[in-house]
Structure 1
């Protein structure tokens, strides 16, 4: 399910506003290599979207095939090489022949195989299916949050429900406040992830 984020153009407009208020250059805010890695969109495609232009999308099937190949080519195992086809095949319950076709873009994964593949690589299932704009918008939320923390860490703490700490911010330097805010946000995100996992487990037990 797509997260209820504002449209990409609004996210970009807010980032630009905060970037300027923080006195940061675009290169300091937008790491196109990281955004490409996290979204499966090429670096050129990321730059196009960041410039407010539309990106030609060849459709859902071509997108899924491309993202699977992107995962295979960009993710590395402990030895610094692509994961072994046999290991991937075992993880998704498929033959090595079909898996080889899958990671080279010759085959499209089923819903189950796509889910298992995303789990194997540690990405959300949305990684394979999100449109380029939606994928970038998702990843830009962390950029936006970081800028909001820089611009007004006390407000972000209050937004996270930490009123007690927010009331003592005069005792800290700005850098300390920024770091505490990031830490609280990380803890909140981890707790939400655990809550979501528990909820899914309860639903499976009901079924």
Structure 2
């Protein structure tokens, strides 16, 4: 399973390593529109982040409004032969807020800020994790990419998975690792993963706030 603490850069590095091992390209496995729906991000933001670019930081209220609009536009319900967004009234009434009140902060009227209760209520309504509406774009995209990474790891050979997770370890060492008894292999893997975490922490400390 993909590490839930691994950020976007590391997720993409692992995906690229697994794709290289299987002679495939990103455009053969990454669906930009699907990633945009899963992350509730504009497709152009997904493109920018995948290309290694930066997106402007947004104030909390603006970020929540944008994510809510994307979420509502991408999580549609079936009505007859058509699919349409849930109404603001339906969403708001699910947690005790009127559609008008939800519309007021959704449209940034009268400088109304989204309450913690409203944000949590919307997340419950759509069945998304707590914090989904205010996650940074890179965090949201990393979460959307994790199922892709897990699928690639499930279909790859163990050597490719280990090489993708620990690119600094030499290939010969990894091949010898695969011949170890299961219990010894688990100890070695836990040790490598612990060292890997420490390395990322050191890099984060060096980068500063």
TM-score of Structure 1 vs Structure 2, range by shorter chain: 0.5 to 0.7
| Superposition deviation, residue 105 in structure 1 | 4.6
Larger deviation, residues 16-25 vs 146-155: 146-155
Q: Which residue of 2 aligns with 1:15?
A: 15
Q: 1:64·1:108 contact (CA, 8 Å) conserved in 2? A: no
| Superposition deviation, residue 121 in structure 1 | 1.3
Q: 1:102·1:108 contact (CA, 8 Å) conserved in 2? A: yes
Larger deviation, residues 99-108 vs 86-95: 99-108
Going from structure 1 to structure 2, the CA distance change for 1:57 and 1:51 (only over 3 Å counts) comes to same
Aligned with 1:148 (options 128, 139, 153): 153
Q: 1:86·1:96 contact (CA, 8 Å) conserved in 2? A: yes
Indicate yes or no: 2:42 matched with 1:36.
no
Which structure has the bigger radius of gyration?
A: 2
Count of aligned pairs between the two proteins: 154
Q: Distance in 2 between matches of 1:70 and 1:108?
A: 18
TM-score (norm 1): 0.67
Going from structure 1 to structure 2, the CA distance change for 1:155 and 1:58 (only over 3 Å counts) comes to closer
Indicate yes or no: 2:16 matched with 1:25.
no
| Superposition deviation, residue 5 in structure 1 | 1.9
Instruction: Give 5+ residue unaligned stretches, structure 1.
Output: 157-207
Larger deviation, residues 77-86 vs 40-49: 77-86
Q: Distance in 2 between matches of 1:105 and 1:73?
A: 18
TM-score (norm 2): 0.66
Instruction: Give 5+ residue unaligned stretches, structure 2.
Output: 162-209
Aligned with 2:101 (options 90, 98, 103): 98
Write out per-residue CA displacement over residues 14-62 of structure 1, whole angstroms, 9 at most, x where no aligned residue.
Answer: 1101011112221122111111111121111111111112221223221
Secondary structure of the corresponding residue to residue 92 of structure 1: coil
More helix by share: 1
| Superposition deviation, residue 10 in structure 1 | 1.6
Secondary structure of the corresponding residue to residue 144 of structure 2: helix
Going from structure 1 to structure 2, the CA distance change for 1:146 and 1:153 (only over 3 Å counts) comes to farther
Indicate yes or no: 2:84 matched with 1:81.
yes
